[in-house]
Structure 1
Amino acid sequence: MTEKNHSKTYLPGEERRNKLRKYRAVKDFISKFGVSIGGVNVIIALALIFIFLFIEVLPMLKGSSVEPETSFYSPARNSQLMFMDMDRYHEIGVSYHSDGRVIFFDLWDGTHIKTVSLNLPQDVTITSHAAGEPRTNIKVIGLSDGTAMVLEHDFQARHSEGIRTITPHVLFPYGEEPFVVDENRGPLTSIGVQRGSRGTAVAATTEDNRLLLIKFATRVSFMTGETEVEIQKFPLGKSKENIEHLLISANHFSLYTIDSRGYIHFYNITRPADYKLVQSLPAVPDQSVQITTAGFVLGTTSIIVGRSDGTISQYFVVRDDDNINRLKRIRDFEPHPSAVTAFTSEYYRKGFYTADASGNLAGHYPASHRTVFMQNISDSPITNIALSPVQRLIFAKDKSDQINLLHVFNAHPEVSMKALWQKVWYEGRSKPDYIWQSSSATDDFEPKFSQVPLTLGTIKAAFYAMLLAMPLAIMGAIYTAYFMTSRMRRLVKPSIEIMEALPTVILGFLAGLWLAPFVENHLPAIFSIIIFMPLAILAFAFLWSKIPARIRKRITSGWEAAFLIPIIIFMGWFCIFMSPYIELWFFNGSARQWLTDVGITYDQRNALVVGLAMGFAVIPTIFSIAEDAIFSVPKHLTEGSLALGATRWQTVTKVVLLTASPGIFSAVMIGFGRAVGETMIVLMATGNSPVTNFNIFEGMRTLSANIAVELTETAVGGTHYRILFLSALVLFILTFILNTAAEIVRQRLRKKYSSL
């Protein structure tokens, strides 16, 4: 009976076995297909992410250009054209002429719309003229009788029943009658004007080279409500040479004069009554070269000088080693083939345009040190250029009185490899540097888009986090997997892994609001713990070895670590307790002040805080993967090593770690990848200062945190917006390269130790 039953249950029948094989084959096929599809989808997803980021960045790589729209002759061909401009809707143009007429005309065909004649005295002619910063719209003309007139134009737009009507006007903010500049009534040979928050300033030179300054200030009477104009006049000495250009800063602190020898003279007119000539700087190589154009870019900090040899240079004031502001030549741009004849600056950016005697028009941007385009648009020398308020159209009048209207494409002049990855000398800085500063409270701001502080900050944050996490996580994984008892391992491993479930926003919140002040107030304790905690553990291990064997054997092997818990707690408390005494004994009562005194900057939210907080977040990831890799080492390898006489420690270092090295390396790289991409902790615990150093006591700004903070505040499609996508692309590529390199190393390690 037994044999009979046994024969019935021996093997399934042939038909049944065939069905099982087919069933397994189907499952294998489905599994293989599912895994393959999953892998392909991951690759496709990564490729799509890369493509999306690249598409957003691509417009910044597109070059700038100008395209002709239309052309017509000047509305007043028998008089010199002084200024040109147009309204923001690109419907009406305006031209100022040396015979005292202001003519408004159709922007696209030159049809006359309106003429305003200035109220000039009889037999008085215009001898000089100048314009302020384009966005202020202020103009000034100097007359042959020593008087001047300040004026501006305005385009009033009204909308009625869906129809826009633009009405042009000429305004006289200080009256239609000319005001006296030179009491001697001599002609004003050169003149300059600038409007700012302090009012309007006019500077002029006379025929005998006297330099005069007039300041206008308006105030509204509290009693009558009428606007009152206060005029102040200041003599500023006499020039030895003829002054050809006058430039006044918007804050009315600085006056720059350019004489016929090619010298730039820098005057401090903060207090005009006590003016001071700060510096006289030669701006031409020799007397064969003359300065032909000069003007400010947006903000009136930088001066652009164009010369008769076609060269163009940027100057601005720099504080020298003696703490004195001095004018300095900062950079040169691509030269024109002939003399520079016209200049205009952009309304809302630091860019500017120049034209030359060969009919070429060029666009430049200082911070990116680029000449974004240079294009021939006329066969005659260009005498005047003007840009629209929205920076899409440009006027260019040539010597034949033909006005060319051109469409400008110049969307992202701020971007260049130099501006993004090299040191740039920005306005107001004493030297070139890597700077990220995308916005400011003033319209005069010069955006700074260096990627170096953000990339270095990302690496810095990850480095200090890994400096804490790697040794603790890997050593903990080794002990847990190989030395700890299975019962204790079942308690420790899930406890550490559950740490990974803590939201990083909570960790960042605690790091910023609790840990950062704690570290600042107990700085010696942090470094005391780093030094004395390992020593205390080693001391305990030494004492444990001296305990009689009969007592030690009562403790189950693998539970020794439990006795370290009170030691660690006590040593941590002791270091914190001794912290104020250590500060008093060694750091004169304040460790932070001591660091400052020796030249080390200390910020409350710094890389040390980030390393502690982000290291705490990364430890579970590294520990879990590394522990699994070590625990999975085949038992026959460790047992064989022990059987051959090796100690447990020798077995770990010579066998276990080598076999598990691919998994440990993967754990480290995954942890590093998480540290690189971490956002909330670095956002809340670093202070977000984009510094370029590895000082552990200073903060940083990472690529991911910068994107999270600034992306929602940018204008879609703008340069800042696209540079943030470039930051994301840099982060993506950085992570991709690191993971690829890690996978290559891991595969080589696996191949090398697979024979064990």
Structure 2
Amino acid sequence: MKDISSVLEQRLNSSSIKKRRKFRAFKDIFARYGIAVGGMGVIVAITLIFFYLLYEVVPLFKSASLETTSSFSLPNELTASQNLALITEEQNEQAGVLTRQGQLIFFSTQDGTEKARHQLPLGQASITSLKEKTPSDSNLMLGLSNGQVIAATTRFQVEYNSQGERGGIQPTVTPLFKANPLQLDPLKRAIQQVTYQKLHDGFLVAGLVKQGEVLLSKVEQRTNFISGATQETIKPLVFPSQTNYQRLLIAPDAHYIFALTASGQLDVYNAQNLNSIVLDHSVQLVTADQQVTQLIFQLGQQSLLVGDSQGNISQWFMVRNAASQHRLTQIRTLKLADAPIKFLEAEQRRKGFIAIDDNGRAGIFNTTAEKKAIDLQLLSTSQPQLISLAPRASMLLALDKQGVVHNFAIDNKHPETSLKSLWGKVWYEGYEEPEYTWQSSSASTEFEPKFSLTPLAFGTLKAAFYAMLLSVPLAICGAMYTAYFMAPEVRNKVKPVIELMEALPTVILGFFAGLFLAPFMESHLTGVFALLIIMPLGIVTFAFAWAQLPGSLRHRVPETWHLVLVIPLVVLLGWLSIALSQPLEILFFAGDLRNWLTNDLGIPFDQRNAMVVGFAMGFAVIPTIYSIAEDALYGVPKSLSHGSLALGATTWQTLVRVVLPTASPGIFSAVMIGMGRAVGETMIVLMATGNTAVMNANIFEGMRTLAANIAVEMGESAISSSHYRVLFLAALVLFLFTFVVNTLAELVRQRLRKKYSSL
């Protein structure tokens, strides 16, 4: 014995064994620290992703600011009382002032240095009115004391030298009516207010003279395509009413003419036929104790902004009612303060505007977001007499009583985003009611962005719901059968095949679903629904018939090999359901189930819909849920099931009351991981649905998910734009949703494990 122990001791203490033990200890330490570092790396990576998303999203909710950058005095000849208007250019480098003598004087916005002058052809007349500012319109129109109207286009052109270097900005003034004044009033009365609107073949000019009489003239312009010469024809028009109006506005293409009375009533005239203008309807803009102080168009000239004597600014636009009639409707009201609104000027690129009251308090608003971005006292020592908002809404010029121009820099990059515009119902221009809408871009530069994430979140949950509705029962029931009833030889072949399905690229599944499955299900819709009835009834019938067979026949097939019989049965029932599709459709639905759904039940039907997504994405999720659930069920100690069977429980009772509760933490984890896969799926949803952001639980309509929307639009969004950052917000919402669901799932899993660990 001593010899054996000494030999063993020598071998255990040999140099090779010692080296092996040291190497094993090194591997254990390396594995322990390697796994720890890897785990910490995953946590750090996820944390960095979260903070990067947050970094891109936070500017959406950053407060706007307005700061003074410079102040300077205009020449002595340009006192505040001599100026009628301020204009600015896109680069924020130059501005212009229009004097009562008809001079346009251009100067630097930094120090007031004069750059150029231009005299408008007033003749012996004086300026009596000036057209209100309209977004995206650089034309000046003046009403004169002799009943004439003159108009000019102001442009600021960047100049470059021969080396291609930027030299400066050159202002130009071009007459609008072939350099000739337009005689709007034959009686040569002073024009008290003037406005115009572009037509497809010229202009419609409108003016008010003494006692509110309305004068209209159409300026028809025809261009000779050979010579390039433009011919103008002036055609006076008849206005149907001579009410004492105080202000006129003309809608695009002269579809409507808005005429305001002193009492705040706005008469809306239908001017589609300029030869027969008729009163369409009237609305009261303010209450009896209020007066209208400002009335302008917003960007796109679809909305009217109305400022009143109590500091309110209301938005109005045409809405179609139940009788399919368009009526001017008050949409929303924003509040600046209690003083009357003195200035209203709309932004030229966004659905925003600036408002300044009689006390000099200024506010910058956005109608889509119903948001007041800035609210402050503009000038501390005086009140502004004229203002001008730069085309990019990044600069504000204010001229005070002393003739001092104040230059303010505006930082308001994302005014169209707020909690309401991102998650609530918004009443957009042209809509009949408030809606949840995602529409981030349009061909028109006057488009109103619609950044509601609600339909995208709804579409994400809708796609995941229908996918889980198909995949969870099939995957868990399949896992139960494979782990508990199937023969080991068959299980060893079936399980790897199902798990191999998970390696199939989802883009292939989406391609298959969009190009084959969607049209196939549309043409065999009756068969698809018949399958849901025929399949379970057929399997139950087959099982009942099988049980009635003599035992000598049934026992020839081992119980664990019944799958060999079920597979042909499933294939046969599936073929039968599809084969019966057309006969059933003719018998019950007059040969067209889709038409019956749409016309008789009022259920819209799209070819690429949630049902297609449910089948395709369910097929993609099944392997994930099946594999994890099957491992959890198969890993239940055999002693538990054997003990249950030994105590007299049946195989089914043992599965339901012993195996399933014990494996429930793993099954629950499988379902949650599958749900995470369904929520984050991109390509299948992108290719197998109509990709329309609709709020509808209808299984026959499509959807757009958060992940698919990011994939579609991220490439076309401008970096650091509102659209770009809202897409990052969608990614952050998806990230947080997955994090919260997984955290709750882990808590539930731990409770289930603790509850059933004593079994």
TM-score bin (small chain): over 0.9
Quote the offset at 1:11 in angstroms. 7.7
Paired residue type of 2:745: A
Which position in structure 2 is the counterpart of 1:394?
A: 396
From 740, 744, 753, give the equivalent of 1:741: 744
Q: For 1:197 and 1:96, how far apart are their aligned partners in 2?
A: 29
CA distance in 2, matches of 1:527, 1:463: 19
Deviations 1:624-681 (A, max 9, x none): 1111111111111111111111111111000111111111111111110000000000
- The match for 2:723 among 720, 723, 728 is 720
Amino acid in structure 2 at the alignment position of 1:313: S
Answer whether contact 1:365 1:413 (CA < 8 A) is retained.
yes
Tell me which residue corresponds to 1:53: 53
Q: CA deviation at 1:213?
A: 2.7
Aligned-partner Cα distance in 1 for 2:748–2:491: 30
**Residue type at the aligned position of 1:507:** L
- Rounded to whole Å, the distance in 2 between the matches of 1:403 and 1:245 is 29
Q: Secondary structure at the match of 2:118?
A: strand
Alignment-derived partner of residue 90 in structure 2: 88
How many residue pairs end up in the alignment? Answer: 751
The residue correspondences of 1:566-645 to structure 2 (distance < 5 A) are 566-597=568-599, 598-645=601-648
Deviation track 1:17-40 (CA, whole Å, cap 9, x = no partner) reads 887776655444333322222221
2:111 aligns to what? 109
1:314 aligns with 2:310: no
Over 3 Å counting, the alpha-carbon distance change for 1:707 and 1:183 in structure 2 is same
Quick check: 457-466 or 521-530, which moved more? 521-530
Provide closer, same or farther for how the CA distance between residues 85 and 196 of structure 1 changes in structure 2, counting only shifts above 3 A.
farther
For the structure 1 residues 199 and 453, does the alpha-carbon distance in structure 2 shift closer, same or farther, using more than 3 Å as the test?
A: farther
> 1: distance between equivalents of 2:322 and 2:386?
40
Q: Is the 8 A contact 2:336 2:375 kept in 1?
A: no
Tell me the equivalent position of 1:262: 264
Residue 526 of structure 2 corresponds to 524
RMSD: 2.0
User: Which amino acid letter does the alignment assign opposite residue 297 of structure 2?
Assistant: F
Higher mean alpha-carbon deviation, 676-685 vs 354-363, is at 354-363
Alignment partner of 1:183 is 2:161: no
Aligned counterparts of 2:7 and 2:660: Cα–Cα separation in 1: 47
Distance 1:457 1:409, change over 3 A: same
Report how far residue 580 of structure 1 moved: 1.6
Is 1:240 the counterpart of 2:243? The answer is yes
SS in 2 for 1:222: coil
Decide whether the 8 Å contact of 2:311 with 2:339 is kept in 1.
yes
Q: 590-599 or 89-98: which moved more? A: 89-98
What letter matches 1:41 in structure 2? G
Change (3 A) 1:168 1:585: same
Letter in 1 for 2:327: R
SS in 2 for 1:251: helix
2:500 is equivalent to residue 498 of structure 1: yes
Give, in angstroms, the shift of residue 249 of structure 1: 2.0
In 1, Cα distance between equivalents of 2:434 and 2:3 = 92
Give, in angstroms, the shift of residue 499 of structure 1. Answer: 0.8
Distance (whole Å) between structure 2 residues aligned to residue 408 and residue 386 of structure 1: 13
Tell me, what secondary structure is at the counterpart of 1:95? strand
* Gaps in structure 2 of 5+ consecutive residues: none
Deviating more after overlay: 36-45 vs 6-15: 6-15
Using a 3 Å threshold, how does the CA distance of structure 1 residues 576 and 620 change in structure 2: closer, same or farther? Answer: same
Output the CA distance in 2 between the equivalents of 1:25 and 1:703.
Answer: 49
The reply to whether residue 707 of structure 1 matches residue 710 of structure 2 is yes
Checking the alignment, whether the CA contact within 8 Å between 1:53 and 1:726 is kept in structure 2 is yes
1:730 pairs with 2:733 = yes
Q: Do the aligned partners of 2:135 and 2:297 also contact (CA within 8 Å) in 1? A: no
Deviates more, 1:401-410 or 1:378-387: 378-387
Q: How far 1:525 moved relative to its partner?
A: 1.0
- Specify the code of the residue in structure 2 equivalent to 1:306: G
Q: Alpha-carbon deviations, 1:712-751, whole Å to 9, x = none? A: 1011000000000000000000000000011111111111
Which has the higher mean CA deviation after the structures are superposed, 620-629 or 331-340? 331-340
Q: CA deviation at 1:195?
A: 3.5
Q: Which moved more, 1:177-186 or 1:446-455?
A: 177-186
Residues 344 and 484 (structure 1 numbering): CA distance in 2 closer, same or farther, change over 3 Å?
A: same
Report how far residue 44 of structure 1 moved.
0.9
Mapped to 2, the partners of 1:33 and 1:748 lie a distance apart of 30
TM-score with structure 2 length normalisation?
Answer: 0.95
Q: Which stretch shifts more, 40-49 or 158-167?
A: 158-167
Which whole-Å deviations, capped at 9, do the CAs of 1:437-491 have from their partners, x for residues lacking one? 0001111210000010001110110010000000000000000111010111112
Alignment partner of 2:513 out of 472, 492, 511? 511
- Alignment counterpart, residue 658 of structure 1, candidates 658, 661, 676: 661
Give the percent of matched residue pairs that are identical in Structure 1 and Structure 2. Answer: 45
Question: What CA distance in whole angstroms lies between the structure 1 residues aligned with 2:581 and 2:679?
Answer: 32
Deviates more, 1:351-360 or 1:73-82: 73-82
CA shift at 1:126, angstroms? Answer: 1.8
Of 172, 177, 182, 1:174 maps to 177
Whether the 8 Å contact between 2:80 and 2:402 is mirrored in structure 1 is no
| SS at structure 1 position matched to 2:252 | coil
Contact 1:461 1:611 in 2 (8 A): yes
How many Å apart are 1:186 and its aligned residue? 2.1
- Distance in 2 separating the partners of 1:539 and 1:6: 71
Does structure 2 retain, via aligned residues, the 8 Å contact 1:340–1:356? yes
Q: Which moved more, 1:539-548 or 1:226-235?
A: 226-235
Say if 2:651 is the partner of 1:648: yes
Q: Which runs of 5+ in 1 are unaligned?
A: none
Task: Name the aligned partner's letter for residue 731 of structure 2.
Answer: A
The letter for the 2-side match of 1:56 is E
Q: Is the 8 A contact 1:147 1:178 kept in 2?
A: yes
Deviates more, 1:502-511 or 1:304-313: 304-313
Cα pair distance change 1:570/1:409, threshold 3 Å: same
Offset at 1:96? 1.4
Greater displacement, 263-272 / 709-718: 263-272
In 2, the alpha carbon distance for the partners of 1:199 and 1:702 equals: 46
Once the two structures are TM-superposed, the CA of residue 601 in structure 1 deviates from its matched residue by 1.1
Deviation per residue, 1:264-295 (Å, 9 max, x gap): 22222122112222221111111x42211111
Q: Is the 8 A contact 1:132 1:193 kept in 2?
A: no
Superposed CA offset, 1:174-221 (max 9, x none) = 122211112232222221123365543322122143323333343320
**What pairs up with 1:188-587 in 2 under 5 angstroms?**
188-195=191-198, 199-241=202-244, 243-286=245-288, 288-378=289-379, 379-587=381-589
Partner Cα distance (1:621, 1:197) in 2: 61
SS at match of 2:560: coil
Greater Cα shift, 391-400 or 721-730: 391-400
Give, in whole Å, the separation in 2 of the partners of 1:439 and 1:233: 40
Distance, in Å, in 2 between the alignment partners of 1:201 and 1:12 is: 112
Query: Structure 1 CA distance, aligned partners of 2:552 and 2:753?
Result: 43
Match of 1:157 in 2: 158
Give the secondary structure class of the aligned counterpart of 1:32.
Answer: helix
Aligned mates of 1:9, 1:78 — CA distance in 2 = 113
Distance 2:551 2:273 in 1: 89
For residues 473 and 216 of structure 1, what CA distance do their matches in structure 2 show?
73
**TM-score when normalising by structure 1:** 0.96
In the aligned structure 1, how far is the partner of 2:536 from the partner of 2:199? 64
2:616 and 2:630 map into 1 onto residues whose CA distance is: 22
Q: Judge conservation of contact 1:268–1:275 (CA < 8 Å) in 2.
A: yes
Aligned to 1:696: 699
Per the TM alignment, residue 167 of structure 1 is displaced from its structure 2 partner at its CA by: 1.9
Alpha-carbon contact 1:316-1:427 (below 8 Å) kept: yes
Deviations 1:296-343 (Å, cap 9, x if unpaired)? 111001111111221111111111111111011111112224211111
Alignment pair present for 1:66 and 2:69: no
Change (3 A) 1:326 1:399: farther
| Distance (whole Å) between structure 1 residues aligned to residue 259 and residue 384 of structure 2 | 24
**Cross-structure match for 2:40:** 40
Structure 2 Cα separation of the partners of residues 307 and 105 of structure 1: 33
Deviation of the 1:112 alpha carbon: 2.8
